[in-house]
Amino acid sequence: MQNQPNNTVRMLRLPDVIGLTGLGRSSIYDLMKQGRFPVQVKLGGKAVAWVSAFFKVVVA
């Protein structure tokens, strides 16, 4: 059996992003406005999340 790449996209909610980056909510949204932080993805309704792959690259 061959190892298959994991193509699963994991989404992070705001508390997870805060924990990974050490930034506060306001700082995250300010940086998004400046284009210096990845934008969130709408999940539906008022729910948003960020793609985890970006944070693996930045935090690593």
What is the rounded CA–CA span in Å between residue 43 and residue 41? 6
Nearest residue to 12 (alpha-carbon basis) of 28, 35, 34, 36:
28
So where are the chain's domains?
11-59
Rounded alpha-carbon distances, angstroms, from residue 42 to 4, 5, 22, 24? 29, 26, 22, 20
Q: pLDDT tens digits, residue range 8-58?
A: 889 999 999 999 999 999 999 999 999 999 999 999 999 999 999 887 655
CA geometry: angle 57, 35, 43, nearest 5 deg: 70
Q: What is the pLDDT of residue 2?
A: 61
pTM of the predicted model, to two decimals? 0.77
Distance of CA 42 to the CA centre of its chain: 12
What is the rounded CA–CA span in Å between residue 36 and residue 13? 18
Q: What is the pLDDT of residue 23?
A: 95
Which CATH topology does 11-59 take?
Recoverin; domain 1 (1.10.238)
Q: What is the pLDDT of residue 16?
A: 95
